[in-house]
Structure 1
Amino acid sequence: MKTPRQRPNGFTLMELLIVISIMLILMLMAIPNFNKMKASANENSAINSLQAIYKAEIQYQTTYPANGFACSLQALGGDPKQGNPTPTSAQLLQGDLPAGVKAGYTFNIVNCTKVTVNNTDQITSFQVTAVPQAVGKTGYRGFCIDEYSEIKADPQGGTNCTASIQ
């Protein structure tokens, strides 16, 4: 009497290759979407960071009215362990922002307008820029905010902010 041939436990090499091929195809389709999602998250973080810097600027102007606005991120930052806040270290921004880099974007305060009142320089206007460190990878658009709190975008990833964001 002939016994039927038993199939060994496990998968054949061909079955494993097919499964691995399908997984590779799915991964290749997912990676570009992941990069787009990361760039989009970085853009949202940049917008939120611009709003935080704007709020710090308003608080700085209120706290140091003779100085007006701050014209550097370092003036808005500072370490509370170093003593009381000063106009050069107001301790209004925490984390990475005083260094000017966060979530794939580089931040800077530019276009400061200065007037002299009672022999003291007073900053009356400013613009904060947020530029992707690698356009197309860490973000697609550049962003700007000024003393009027309107955030605008540069679709090319620079500081030529003319497009309103809604």
Structure 2
Amino acid sequence: MQRQKGFSLIELLIVVAIILIIAAIAIPNLLRARIAANESSAVSSIRTLNTAQISYFSTYPTVGYAGTIPALGPSASTGCTTPTSTSSCLVDWIVAQATAAGSAKSGYFFGLGVTAGGGINSAYTVGGAPAALSQTGVRGFCSNEDAVIRYTASAAAPVTTKAACAAYTALQ
């Protein structure tokens, strides 16, 4: 009598069950790690936008702070050949265009609000929110001209007012 070589159906089912158990443990950890990385990137982008706003304010004192995020980036048609107040080339294209959930940078999109005073934009608030809440991020972030980054436990849209940002908790 010849002996069959290979695995039995039971052995294969046990191996598949073990793989599924390992995947059930590993996938949530992977998602949490991705969310943490996205949130870290969002904080970094807000820091970049703060720095760009300070540079913009000193470069264009008759305008004050930039009124839109794309004004901090390169021009769509000419790139960064000649920086102007409408395309100052202070942030890269990806950050400058991440103003809607469909064009998010690392799972976050950003909004900017300005306060006019004395004929110029004298204050600003920049906010970031996850493009898909609980999938790309769970916290919203904001900052204004004081450069203190604040967060909230959940945000569906970027905060663009100073009062709303002040209600957030300062990031340590």
Same fold flag (TM > 0.5): yes
Does residue 91 of structure 2 align to residue 93 of structure 1? yes
Distance 2:93 2:73 in 1: 9
Distance 2:141 2:169 in 1: 9
Q: What secondary structure, in the 3-state scheme, does the structure 2 residue paired with 1:144 have? A: strand
Distance 1:34 1:93, change over 3 A: same
Q: For residue 24 of structure 1, what is the aligned residue in structure 2?
A: 20
Greater Cα radius of gyration, structure 1 or 2: 1
Distance 1:19 1:7 in 2: 22
Does residue 165 of structure 2 align to residue 163 of structure 1? no
**How many residue pairs end up in the alignment?**
157
Between the aligned residues of both structures, percent identity stands at 36
Q: Does the 8 Å CA contact 2:52/2:90 hold for their aligned counterparts?
A: yes
Q: For residue 129 of structure 1, what is the aligned residue in structure 2?
A: 127
Q: Does the 8 Å CA contact 1:139/1:157 hold for their aligned counterparts?
A: no
Q: For residue 35 of structure 1, what is the aligned residue in structure 2?
A: 31
Higher relative strand content: 1
Q: What secondary structure, in the 3-state scheme, does the structure 2 residue paired with 1:108 have? A: strand
1:2-21 aligned at under 5 Å gives the runs: 7-21=3-17
Distance 2:93 2:66 in 1: 18
The alpha-carbon deviation at position 128 of structure 1 amounts to 0.2
Q: What secondary structure, in the 3-state scheme, does the structure 1 residue paired with 2:124 have? A: strand
Q: Which amino acid aligns with 1:56?
A: A
1:58-137 aligned at under 5 Å gives the runs: 58-79=54-75, 81=79, 83-99=81-97, 100=99, 101-110=104-113, 112-116=114-118, 121-137=119-135
Alignment gaps of 5+ in structure 2: none
Q: What secondary structure, in the 3-state scheme, does the structure 2 residue paired with 1:102 have? A: coil
Q: What secondary structure, in the 3-state scheme, does the structure 2 residue paired with 1:156 have? A: coil
The alpha-carbon deviation at position 131 of structure 1 amounts to 0.8
The alpha-carbon deviation at position 45 of structure 1 amounts to 0.6
Q: Does the 8 Å CA contact 1:155/1:163 hold for their aligned counterparts?
A: no
Query: What RMSD in Å do the two structures reach over aligned CA positions?
Result: 1.8
Distance 1:51 1:60 in 2: 14
Cα displacement string for residues 1-48 of structure 1 (whole angstroms, at most 9, x for unaligned residues): xxxx66433322211110011101111222222221111111101000
Q: Does the 8 Å CA contact 2:80/2:89 hold for their aligned counterparts?
A: no
Cα displacement string for residues 107-162 of structure 1 (whole angstroms, at most 9, x for unaligned residues): 0111x11124xxxx311110000011222111111000110100000112253442
Q: Which has the higher mean CA deviation after the structures are superposed, 39-48 or 23-32?
A: 23-32
